[in-house]
Structure 1
């Protein structure tokens, strides 16, 4: 279970202390939109946010999320982020069996792929919790996603979460470390996404992200297509990264286990260098 926050023990510059939940203050939201959008775009995004509609007894809503994962899933993508108004995680899903989000469902009007740290406006139709994946919402495929802003490293620090561990440790697959949880412990899990900060990350030749967090070592499968492509270009040679945020996702059951995935890696030097 994602527990209460604990002080960040890394060597990097301290981020503002979280208050238990990831929070994106209103001043940050306004600053982000003002810096990245025209007044007309801001007005449009604000009006869209205020709209509410009822669909089959379920409340649909327009949201803006800070995109914190655009990861590989079943030939398409898994998108996840934090709602700038509620500070809650949102994982938009499709109606298909895989629940993955297709190119036409996720790309902007100019056919540009959403990037991690984009602020995206989208419409959701109903909540679709599935076990511990309470963050799942069915997306409205008739409404095109729109980029309405972008956040930077300082903003990202305000979203940092500091669980005491990544759900449950002590179970490892071949090549992994603390990377899976047996299904018979499902009742102990209450969510499936976490944004953590680490001093360093090593991506091994077999595309596992190796890092240390809160005193424990992890090796979890990488599903971030950006770093997967970098690995491919570099001949799958091991890469070492500095201070980074990692979006960790807990997937659905696979042969008796739930696997932890590195859905996105956000390296500080990459962000600050533009």
Structure 2
């Protein structure tokens, strides 16, 4: 079993992407299945019918090492077995794991190309990052295909970095759609999407977009 603190339970192609940090090894972990693009189904992830929540400590049956052929260094293949919920950590416990200096995921753009990631050694292909935000602003960008409102967020970190990304945290999306205000100070998990080329794309390469996959208010 691999033990992580859950820092993302986000939308992924009709299912979810689960990710978190192994706090003992100080490593990001993203369970992947044999489904399309590694997404994690409800039957796989729910524990006694309940979704994994941010800040929860989870035991998940996973392969020990990443595949050398995988472009996301954090990926671990999901093995047979039941997930376990062991408790919860505090926001203060997680702050030492924030990376607030330098770029958010490789550069100051909203995407990183797959070609660039593949040019890096496996240990440098970072696709997940936790930051502490001192300002967080949101705006509605229309409707998802399920009819759920879509939101974009802009984060400014304690280190002065600014980044905008689509919000794929379903809990936060629901709260924003109900009229709640976003937390101004929070911990934010950024994750890279699978490559997606929008219409009219004129740049080189296949862009992987920076997503806001999990948001934890600092008052939590």
Cα 1:116–1:232 change in 2 (3 A) is: same
TM (norm. structure 2) is 0.82
Instruction: For residue 184 of structure 1, report the CA deviation from its aligned partner.
Output: 4.4
Deviation (angstroms), 1:81: 0.5
Partner of 1:185: 116
**Displacement of 1:218 after TM fit?**
1.7
SS in structure 1 of the partner of residue 140 of structure 2: coil
Secondary structure at 1:205 match in 2: strand
- Between 1:258-267 and 1:160-169, the stretch displaced more is 160-169
Q: Map of 1:191-210 to 2, 5 A cutoff?
A: 191-206=126-141, 207-210=151-154
- d(CA) in 2 for partners of 1:215, 1:181: 20
Deviation sequence 1:201-256 (CA, Å, 0-9, x none): 1111121111223334221111000111112222xx8x442211100111221122
What are the residue-to-residue correspondences of 1:180-259 with 2, within 5 Å? Answer: 180-186=111-117, 187=119, 190-206=125-141, 207-213=151-157, 214-234=159-179, 239-255=181-197, 256-259=206-209
- Corresponding residue number in structure 2 for 1:49: none
Q: Answer yes or no: is the 8 Å Cα contact 1:130–1:136 preserved in 2.
A: no
Distance in 2 (CA, whole Å) between partners of 1:184 and 1:139 is 26
Shift of 1:73: 0.4
In the TM superposition, residue 181 of structure 1 has moved relative to its aligned partner by 2.5
- Matched with 2:210 is 260
CA RMSD of aligned residues (A): 1.9
Q: Give the Cα separation in 2 of the matches to 1:75 and 1:263.
A: 15
Which of 24, 42, 60 in structure 2 is aligned with 1:85? 24
Q: Runs of 5+ in structure 2 lacking a partner?
A: 142-150, 198-205
Aligned CA distance change for structure 1 residues 218 and 95 (closer, same or farther; 3 Å): same
CA drift of 1:129 comes to 5.3
Structure 1: which 5+ runs fail to align? Answer: 1-61, 171-177
Which segment is superposed worse, 241-250 or 152-161? 152-161
User: Which among 86, 96, 103 is matched to residue 158 of structure 1?
Assistant: 96
The structure in which a higher percent of residues are helix is 1
* Paired position in structure 2 for 1:122: 60
